[in-house]
Amino acid sequence: MRTTPSPPVDVAALLPDLAPLARTTVRLHPRPGDPAAGESSLGGPLLWPAGEPWPMCDGPKGYDHFDEPAEAEVPLAPVLQILAEDVPELPFPDDADVLQVLWCPFDHEPFSSPRPQVRWRRRSEIGEVLAVTPAPDEEAQERHLPDPCVLHPERVVEYPSWDLPDELWDEIARMDEATGESYENDLSVASGTKIGGYPGWTQNPHWPVCECGSRMEHLLTVASWEFSRGDEKRWIPVEDRPAMAGWTWDAADDHPSKPIQNPAGLMLGDVGGIYLFMCVTCPQRTVDYRFDCS
């Protein structure tokens, strides 16, 4: 279990205009482990039907804008698997009860980032499960291949930061002054890898619009780190705080804080995140993604 400290003030009571904007996110709190294919995980083995071809990418094999002519069929990497009983809040379509996210670990346009794909599955239809996950391409960078982590889902109420209407910032500045708190750092958007709630944008919001005309909903964020400088007060779980003692930004790789802050060994651009979105209006549940970083 991982527990985010309670908010130091009641935002909705102090600022009623924010109350309707509250959303519950499910922080996944990935931590290094040995998840089985039948468990929810980050970077773990998937419940993949043994008879179904593993997804491959044949796009450009590029990093840092040095695109080589073509990928020779690069296997996608398993990123997230979520079982419905662990996160029933996910809008599973058509009786599906597993969400799987994979991505190509090479940089893809338009964001120069890994390119994700989503699979929704029904466990009763999977049959024999693939026993061995295909090895990643030998040129794929470690920082784009999440190390296996088990998950500790926790519900936290969020309020928008980047997605906040402009006219509310003055009221928030007054609330911060009156309470001595920082809305932006500690009361709004949870950091780290999570389902639902608000996207963990680092830059201005860039919501995808479905071809049906609806703005898509935030499905999940895969973050490089679980928290960054400025997030320490609120977003480090209470269970992890003892291991954070002596934490510094240049701590050695074997410091106990490392698997808490960077559990999967990811580095997406400059501490960036990949945000998946889904249209909940269309029956086909169109998915799109965004990437940004510092």
Whole-number Å distance between alpha carbons of 232 and 145: 26
In the complex, least distance from residue 249 CB atom to Zn ion, rounded to whole angstroms: 32
The H or E element containing residue 121 is: strand 113-121
Pick the piece of the chain touching Zn ion (CB under 5 A) from 62-70, 149-157, 217-225, 277-285: 277-285
Pick the piece of the chain touching Zn ion (CB under 5 A) from 5-13, 101-109, 121-129, 176-184: 101-109
3-state DSSP assignment of residue 3: coil
Those residues with Cβ within 8 angstroms of residue 264's Cβ, 6 or more apart along the chain or in another chain:
30, 32, 42, 43, 146, 147, 149
Q: Can you read off the two tokens belonging to residue 139?
A: 């040129």
In the complex, least distance from residue 58 CB atom to Zn ion, rounded to whole angstroms: 7
57 binds Zn ion (CB under 5 A): yes
Indicate the burial class of 120 (C-beta count within 10 angstroms; 0-12, 13-18, 19 or more): middle
The H or E element containing residue 219 is: strand 217-223
Instruction: Pick from 129, 205, 281, 288 the residue near Zn ion by CB under 5 A.
Output: 281
Site string for Zn ion, 222-261 (x = CB under 5 A): ----------------------------------------
- Closer residue to Zn ion (CB): 115 or 234: 115
Pick the piece of the chain touching Zn ion (CB under 5 A) from 36-44, 152-160, 207-215, 235-243: 207-215
117 binds Zn ion (CB under 5 A): no
Instruction: Pick from 38, 59, 93, 153 the residue near Zn ion by CB under 5 A.
Output: 59
In the complex, least distance from residue 36 CB atom to Zn ion, rounded to whole angstroms: 28
Pick the piece of the chain touching Zn ion (CB under 5 A) from 188-196, 210-218, 227-235, 270-278: 210-218
Q: Can you read off the two tokens belonging to residue 14?
A: 């102090």
In the complex, least distance from residue 279 CB atom to Zn ion, rounded to whole angstroms: 3
Indicate the burial class of 198 (C-beta count within 10 angstroms; 0-12, 13-18, 19 or more): buried
Count of CA atoms in the C-beta half-sphere (13 A) of 283: 1
Instruction: Pick from 149, 210, 236, 276 the residue near Zn ion by CB under 5 A.
Output: 210
The H or E element containing residue 194 is: strand 194-196
Instruction: Pick from 15, 42, 99, 104 the residue near Zn ion by CB under 5 A.
Output: 104
106 binds Zn ion (CB under 5 A): yes
Report the DSSP pairing between strands 194-196 and 154-158. unpaired
The H or E element containing residue 27 is: strand 23-27
What torsion, rounded to 10 degrees, do the Cα atoms 34, 38, 39, 40 define? 120
Give the end-to-end CA distance of the chain in Å, rounded to a whole number. 30
Instruction: Pick from 150, 219, 266, 279 the residue near Zn ion by CB under 5 A.
Output: 279
Q: Site size for Zn ion, by CB under 5 A?
A: 10
3-state DSSP assignment of residue 18: helix
Tell me, what amino acid is at 218?
Answer: H
Instruction: Pick from 36, 173, 209, 212 the residue near Zn ion by CB under 5 A.
Output: 212
- Closer residue to Zn ion (CB): 157 or 280: 280
205 binds Zn ion (CB under 5 A): no
In the complex, least distance from residue 117 CB atom to Zn ion, rounded to whole angstroms: 10
Chain residues binding Zn ion by CB under 5 A are: 57, 59, 104, 106, 210, 212, 214, 279, 281-282
